[in-house]
Amino acid sequence: MAPPKLPPKGNTDSEDSEDAVDTPTTMASTDTTALPSSSPSLAEKAQRCRAALITALSPSEPVDTILLSGGLDTSIIADLAPLTHLGLKQAVTVVCTPTAPDEAYARAIAEKHSLKHTVVRCDDPMSLVGDEEGGTLETCVRVLKTFDPMELRNAVVVARALVECKRMGAKVVATGDAADELFAGYSFLQGLSPGKLKRWIARLSRPSVMRFCAGPLAAHLGLKVFQPFLAPPVIDFALTCRRSDLIRSIPNPAPTKDTTPGEMTTFGKYVLREAVPEAYSRWRRKDPIEVGSGTTTLPKLFEEHTDPAFVEAEKARILREDGVTIRDAEHLHYYGVFRRVFASDGAASAENEDQDMDARQYRLKALFAKCGIERYGDDPCLECGFQIDRLDSWFCVTCGAWPARTGSPEGDVQEGDDLDE
Ligand SMILES: [Zn+2]
C-alpha cells in the first residue's frame, strides 16, 4: 500500500543510494539496548523469521511473476524463492526517471535468478498520471475510489506494472506489501518508543487495517496477487518482535556515494536483514515505491505545469461548490478525475443554496452517490466530507487528509513504553 492511515508527512525516506552495492555476509551489531537475559537472541529471532518466511513462500498454486522494485522486501522473496515451490519465472520493474534507484537493484536480482525481466520505462512520471479516459490514473481512481496524492503516486506505478504482467501472461503476481508496516521500515517509526511501536504494528496487523492497492488493481485486471508478508506465520512472528529486533544502528555496511564507510546508520526491518543474509538488497535502505520508481517528483512537476492563479481560483470554487478542500495543483488534478468518474451533477442545483442549508447538504451528500462511500455521515472527513473508514484512524483514505477529524489523535503514551520487551 501506500502506507495505510499513516501521517502523510514522514513516511518518505529518500536516503537511498543510486549505487548497487555488494552485501557483506556478516555484520556485528553495535546496538547497546539492554535486553532481559531470558529473551531470545537476535540470531534466534532471525531463524524463526526465516522459517516463517519460507512457510509463507509455499503457496497452493505457482506464483509466476514478481513486481520487483529491487528493495529489501522483493529481494527477500526472489532470493528465498529457490528454496521454496514458488515457481517464479518473470519479473516486472517500472521506472519513471533515468536516475530512479530501483533499476540497478532489480536488474541484478533478476539476473541472479534467471528471471525474464521487463523494465517498463516511462519518459517522465507525468505520463503515468494523464487524465485521459481509461488511462492509468483514471483506472486507479475508479478502482481505489480515492484522490489522495500519496496513494495515487504509488498506485499508478503498481497499475502500470500489473498491466505489463498481464501482457506477459502472468496469472499470480508476488508483491512485497506489508514488510514496511510489520517490520518498521518507515523512518518515522524510528522515533517511537518500544511500547508505542509495538502498538502501532499490532494495530496494523488486525484484519483489514492495512490496505494495499495491488489487490484491487490486480483483480480489476483478472490477476491474483500473492503477498507473503501478509501470511499468518509472518504476521504472528512480527508481533513477537521488540524494537531492538526491528531497528538498529550499525556502522553502514554498504556505503554509498552519499555516506562514508563505517558511518553509524539506522536500519529498520533489521531482523529481516539478519534472517535472509543472502538477500541482494540486504543493506539497501528504504525507498517508498514512489521514490524508487521516480514518481516522487510529481508534486513539483504539477506545480511547475499549473498556473498558480488557476489553482487558487479552483480551490475556492471547489470548496464552495463541492465542499472539498483541495491542497495543491497535484491534488486538484486527481480530484478532477475523481469528480469526472463519480460525480452526478444532475440531481440538484447549487443555485440559491445560501438561503437553504438543507438543500446544500442534500446536494453535497448526493453528489458522489455513485462512489458508494457515504458523505456527511456520522464521521465525515473535515476536508472532503467522505466517511472516515475506521474509528481508530485519523487518516482519510479518500482525500488523503490527516488529521481528518477535529482535535488531534490521542498521545497514546503508556506506562512502561520505554521497556523493550
Ligand atoms: Zn477526506
β-bridge pairing 248-251 and 264-267 = antiparallel
Reduce the DSSP state of residue 56 to 3 states and report it. helix
**pLDDT digit string, tens, across residues 252-268:** 887 766 667 778 889 99
Q: What is the 3-state secondary structure (H, E, C) of 133-198?
A: CCCHHHHHHHHHCCCCHHHHHHHHHHHHHHHHHHHCCCCEEECCCCHHHHCCCCHHHHHCCHHHHH
Instruction: Give the position of cell 478532477.
Output: 336
**pLDDT digit string, tens, across residues 310-366:** 999 999 999 999 999 999 999 999 999 999 999 987 655 566 565 666 788 888 999
- The CB density around residue 220, as the number of other CB atoms within 10 Å, is 15
Average pLDDT, stretch 39-62? 94
Whole-number Å distance, alpha carbon 299 to ligand 1 midpoint, is: 19
Whole-number Å distance, alpha carbon 148 to ligand 1 midpoint, is: 8
pLDDT confidence tier of residue 408, bands split at 50, 70 and 90: low
Closest CA to 405 of 396, 416, 413: 396
Task: For the chain, list the domains and their CATH numbers.
Answer: 42-296 (3.40.50.620)
Whole-number Å distance, alpha carbon 150 to ligand 1 midpoint, is: 13
β-bridge pairing 65-67 and 172-174 = parallel
Stretch among 53-62, 117-126, 149-158, 170-179 having the lowest mean pLDDT: 117-126
Percent of the chain whose pLDDT exceeds 70 = 84
- The CB density around residue 44, as the number of other CB atoms within 10 Å, is 10
Whether residue 202 is predicted with pLDDT greater than 50 in this model: the reply is: yes
Set of cell numbers at residue 211: 490496505
Whole-number Å distance, alpha carbon 4 to ligand 1 midpoint, is: 14
Question: Mean pLDDT over all residues of the chain?
Answer: 86
Whole-number Å distance, alpha carbon 325 to ligand 1 midpoint, is: 8
Whether residue 143 is predicted with pLDDT greater than 70 in this model: the reply is: yes
Please compute, for residue 195, the number of CA atoms within 13 A of its CA located in the half-sphere on the CB side.
9
**pLDDT digit string, tens, across residues 210-250:** 999 999 999 999 999 999 999 999 999 999 999 999 999 99
pLDDT confidence tier of residue 25, bands split at 50, 70 and 90: very low
pTM here?
A: 0.86
> What's the pLDDT score for residue 218?
98
